[in-house]
Amino acid sequence: MVLQKADLVVIGAGPAGVAAAIKAKEMGVNNVIIMERAEQLGGLLHQCIHNGFGLQYFKEDLTGPEYAYNFIEKAKGLGIKFLLETMALDISPKREITAVSNKEGIINLHPKAIILAMGCRERTRGAINIPGTRPAGIFTAGVAQRFVNVEGFIPGKKVVILGSGDVGMIMARRLTLEGVKVEAMVEILPYVGGLIRNEVQCIHDFNIPLFLEHTVVDVHGTERVKAVTIAKIDKDRNPIYKTKRKIECDTLLLSVGLIPENELSLKAGIKLDPVTGGPIVDETMQTNVSGIFAAGNVVHVHDLVDYVSFEGELAGSNAANYILSQALFPKMKINLKAGEGIRYIVPSTISGQKKATLYMRVLKPDRDVVVKVGDDFLRKHLPIVKPSEMLKIIIPLSKLKMLKDETKELTISCTKGRK
Amino acid sequence: MAERLLYADVVIVGGGIAGTAIARELSQYELDVILLEKEIELCFGVTKATHSFIHCGLPEEDTPLINKLSLESNPMFNQLCKELDVPFMRVGKLYTVMNKNEIKILEKIKEKGDIVGVPNLEIVNKEKLREMEPNITDKAVAALYTPTTGLVSPWELVIALAENAMENKVKIMLNTKVTQILPQEDDVFIIKTNRGFIKSKFLINAAGLFADEIANMIGEDNFVMIPLKEERYILDERITGLVNHLIRSPITGDFISPTKKELAPIENNIIMGCVPQKIKDKTDATTSKEGFKRVFNYAKEMFPSISAKDIITSFAGSVPLNSRTNDYIIEPSQRVPKFINAILGGIGVTASPAMAKLIVEILISQGLKLIKKQNFNPYRKGIPDFRTLPEEERKALIAKDPRYGHVVCRCETVTEGEIVEAIRRGARTVDGVKYRTKAGMGRCQGGFCGPRVIEILARELNIPVTEVTKKGNNSRLLLFKSKELLRKNWR
């Protein structure tokens, strides 16, 4: 095989990977290969047949497949190579990739740079330890979405959804439209986990009963789900047993969070952030392993695909720089630290030599807050924040130039206030 | 369909470890043997959820048969697993204590083990223990080391025993439930099942947790089976290398399995265990908050770096106990001597090879004539394990069948080739594919491969996708086709 000649290999053909490959190719990288384990490009977008994609990137309201199509057509036009149904089995810290496919057999590649864009997976029942029986009829929301939208099957006719992530809410609406009765959406937090627009358009508009500060305490049925018992929780998240109620259903969907998929990253010796579960990256999206970049949900779980594409492009352009002219890389001088009210920030380090774009999430929902960078270096008032809605803060170069040379760290906080 | 009548020398009721071990043992003789299993696949009863240890044979107070059979069986596993191509490894166990006063307990256990001849028992001090288990808590002061303790995958063993028995002409009937047993005048049984009648000279009751119901059918009612529930929690593969041996408390019985990389073909994630509790419902496989707390606290106490985040799944299983004795019941019935009980209990997988030989002796004593087969083939080959094969063998496999190049389960690296082969060998359900290949057993718990496995099952079995089940009976996974409900609602 001649594939060994790859300059850049992107692992994953979802929105991050395809955007990264396009950018690198446009910047002059010759041999760009995208490796994808599924049988089609686009990642999970092809099963997201609802709208709401592209408002930031295309300034247009698109469905998931439409959004993906725009990128895929462009990538094909640029002559980027795709290896479909190809699974990367191993990446070494020296960027040696071992992969396998039924067409090519075992594939060995040693590119000049790698971009990790494996995306994320759903948290499962085991990960949140729901007690009770183990019958058929328990699915994660994303798996149910694939069955309904891609395979053409409906898991059951009476559904309870645990968790209120975006996929769970989208599926509450989708299943209702399919004639399924969504008996309840049960959320352990005092607020909905996903985007506000999904709460309005999928839950309230369809009259789905929403149980906040509740959880599933038991699953019934030995062969197929027969019912679930839910209960309100106290402040330590223990169920209050006198509030128990049994809801008859044949299906339990889980929408209890997404986890970046980084088993390959670990094999390559990449350090992960315990909060995001993704690689620790600098402002170029490079990991601690030289020449291995990462972008999209593999780094941190996004709520809008548009930002995944932007992040992919950033990784793609920097990987191109790395391949074409390593000398241009600036030193990362300033660490970014999550202070009060902030759960995490991506990237973790910046150079201070160019405009810095920071993505972050707050710890809890609030109104009238001030996000502060450094002591009083930069501040921004926000009327409303939610952990489910990612914040984007830009520090202009002119501001960064005002920093003292010895500045090694900037703490970012989110506290109550109007100014 | 007309009800048919089959003839056999020996009918075995139950397709768990007891039944399949006996079937394979009997398959070396010139006999007509039929094994009946009520579930859609083998190993869907208690054996499926049992732990994987092969015990070293340390004796207990009042269980002479368990002691004898496990001590005899332990050394047989190397040969057995080699013949059947089942991964087996002697990992050794460390009975670990946290208090100097408790070393006495270890000495007592060792003394008893030495007397019956458990090989190479050794009490290790704190330093040696840390050398053997670098990540164990500082509070652990000593341990009794039992080097012959092993690990084997119970379902792999059951499947392998059954496949080898079938190769040697044992007939296995699935979905076949015994409903009535009629002992006849001429010393034979007529066994009535939901799939017809079988006339047999001998009947072996290896029905595990349901052995009392089978015994009742010939009027034997001097025992009932009681499930002893155990909860287990499986940790992410990332923990690999944290625990080297089976760690067990001699006081509470709590345990943690080892997680060596070389164990990948058996089980590569720690299974944290829990001592059992008696329950009433034989089908109860629920896990509980209390069980979790107990299991997790022990694991965390022994290995402080284990975190609740590492747990990928939990399940519960039952050990079948009988109300008559603390021991196994391996003997002919007092009422009908050609009805032979083969009822195991705790550590049944360990005891199974010697138990099967004991059954043969009992059959002979009850008048069965045994002639060795000339062409008995003791060897069985497992499904290729793509994940652990070296690169050259992987290439050869893909060259032969490209489906081995198509990874379906990403967490456990299971290929379509392995799944198709598992179905060819008898997997009929998503759980059956999972036990045979590990597809869906990893950290995403079938999130990605679940839909693919359902599709492959439907394709290979030539059934509609909506008929594919998780574990047989009424456990269908996808109840409707798209728009089907809408059409129903509109009418």
Residue A314 belongs to a domain with what CATH number? 3.50.50.60
Nearest to B480 among A136, A154, A266 (CB): A154
Are residue B281 and residue B177 in the same domain, yes or no?
no
Asked, for residue B479, whether it belongs to a domain, the answer is no
Model confidence over B415-450: pLDDT tens digits? Answer: 999 999 999 999 999 999 999 998 988 777 888 888
Residue B275 has pLDDT above 70, yes or no: no
Domain residues for the domain of A383 are 334-416
- A371 touches A414 (CB < 8 A): yes
- A8 touches A21 (CB < 8 A): yes
Asked, for residue B313, whether it belongs to a domain, the answer is yes
Are residue A19 and residue A102 in the same domain, yes or no?
yes
Are residue B58 and residue B111 in the same domain, yes or no?
no
Asked, for residue B484, whether it belongs to a domain, the answer is no
Nearest to B481 among A37, A136, A152 (CB): A152
Interface subset of A 351-390, CB within 8 angstroms of B: none
Are residue B218 and residue B295 in the same domain, yes or no?
no
Are residue A106 and residue A137 in the same domain, yes or no?
no
Active site residues of B: 55
Asked, for residue B271, whether it belongs to a domain, the answer is yes
Are residue B144 and residue B264 in the same domain, yes or no?
yes
The reported pLDDT for the residue numbered B291 is 76
Contacts of B465 in chain A (CB under 8 A): 151, 153
The reported pLDDT for the residue numbered A4 is 60
Q: From B304, B285, B268, select the one nearest B411 (Cα to Cα).
A: B268
Are residue A324 and residue A346 in the same domain, yes or no?
no
Nearest to B451 among A133, A151, A224 (CB): A151
What six digits make up the tokens of B41? Answer: 């696949």
Are residue B134 and residue B163 in the same domain, yes or no?
no
Q: From B129, B122, B55, select the one nearest B98 (Cα to Cα).
A: B129
Are residue B143 and residue B160 in the same domain, yes or no?
no
| Adjacent-strand bridge partners of B88 | B152
Nearest to B398 among A105, A133, A136 (CB): A105
Residue B276: φ, ψ to 5°: -75, 160
Looking at residues A15-25, what average pLDDT do you find?
A: 98
Residue B211 belongs to a domain with what CATH number? 3.50.50.60
Contacts of B477 in chain A (CB under 8 A): 136-137, 155
Are residue A180 and residue A275 in the same domain, yes or no?
no
Asked, for residue B118, whether it belongs to a domain, the answer is yes
Are residue A95 and residue A199 in the same domain, yes or no?
no
Last residue of a domain, one of A328, A347, A375: A328
Are residue B198 and residue B341 in the same domain, yes or no?
yes
Residue A346 belongs to a domain with what CATH number? 2.60.40
Euclidean distance between CA atoms A344 and A411, whole angstroms: 11
The reported pLDDT for the residue numbered A210 is 97
Looking at residues A137-147, what average pLDDT do you find?
A: 96
Nearest to B405 among A101, A157, A223 (CB): A101
Which residue on chain A is closest to B474 by alpha carbon?
Answer: A223
Are residue B219 and residue B119 in the same domain, yes or no?
no
Asked if A157 is an interface residue toward chain B (Cβ–Cβ < 8 A), one would say: yes
Model confidence over B180-200: pLDDT tens digits? Answer: 999 888 889 999 999 999 999
Residue B295 has pLDDT above 60, yes or no: yes
Instruction: Give A150 to chain B, closest Cα distance, Å.
Output: 10
Are residue A194 and residue A237 in the same domain, yes or no?
yes
Are residue A12 and residue A161 in the same domain, yes or no?
no
Are residue A387 and residue A322 in the same domain, yes or no?
no
The reported pLDDT for the residue numbered A156 is 97
Domain residues for the domain of B163 are 1-85+150-224+323-382
Contacts of B470 (CB under 8 A, 6+ apart): A135, A136, B429, B430, B431, B476, B477
Residue A2 has pLDDT above 50, yes or no: no
Are residue A137 and residue A247 in the same domain, yes or no?
yes
What is the total count of domains within chain B?
3
Are residue A56 and residue A159 in the same domain, yes or no?
no
Last residue of a domain, one of B301, B318, B335: B318
Looking at residues A72-82, what average pLDDT do you find?
A: 96
- A97 touches A88 (CB < 8 A): yes
Residue B412 belongs to a domain with what CATH number? 1.10.10.1100
Burial class (CB in 10 A: 0-12, 13-18, 19+), A288: middle
Cβ atoms within 10 Å of B251's Cβ, excluding its own: 12
What six digits make up the tokens of A36? Answer: 């994808």
Q: Inter-axis angle of helices A305-324 and A15-26, to 10 degrees?
A: 40
Interface subset of B 4-43, CB within 8 angstroms of A: none
**Cα A304 to the center of its chain, rounded Å:** 9
Asked, for residue B31, whether it belongs to a domain, the answer is yes
Are residue B247 and residue B298 in the same domain, yes or no?
yes
Last residue of a domain, one of A277, A302, A328: A328
Asked, for residue B14, whether it belongs to a domain, the answer is yes
- B275 touches B254 (CB < 8 A): yes
Are residue B246 and residue B283 in the same domain, yes or no?
yes
Residue A256 has pLDDT above 60, yes or no: yes
Q: What ipTM does this complex have?
A: 0.91
Asked if A312 is an interface residue toward chain B (Cβ–Cβ < 8 A), one would say: no
Are residue A185 and residue A91 in the same domain, yes or no?
no
Asked, for residue B490, whether it belongs to a domain, the answer is no
Residue B124 has pLDDT above 80, yes or no: yes
Are residue A138 and residue A240 in the same domain, yes or no?
yes
Last residue of a domain, one of A288, A308, A328: A328
Cross-chain residue pair A106–B395, CB shorter than 8 Å: yes
Which residue on chain B is closest to A118 by alpha carbon?
Answer: B410
Asked if A93 is an interface residue toward chain B (Cβ–Cβ < 8 A), one would say: no
Contacts of A145 in chain B (CB under 8 A): none
What is the total count of domains within chain A?
3
Contacts of B490 (CB under 8 A, 6+ apart): none
* Cis ω before B250 (30° cut-off from 0): no
Are residue B127 and residue B242 in the same domain, yes or no?
yes
Cross-chain residue pair B447–A250, CB shorter than 8 Å: no
Contacts of B420 in chain A (CB under 8 A): none
| Higher per-residue pLDDT: A127 or B484 | B484
Cross-chain residue pair A153–B482, CB shorter than 8 Å: yes
Asked if B485 is an interface residue toward chain A (Cβ–Cβ < 8 A), one would say: yes
The C-alpha angle B133, B139, B142, rounded to 5 degrees, equals: 60
Are residue B287 and residue B433 in the same domain, yes or no?
no
Residue B98 belongs to a domain with what CATH number? 3.30.9.10
Euclidean distance between CA atoms B20 and B359, whole angstroms: 12
Mean pLDDT of chain A: 93
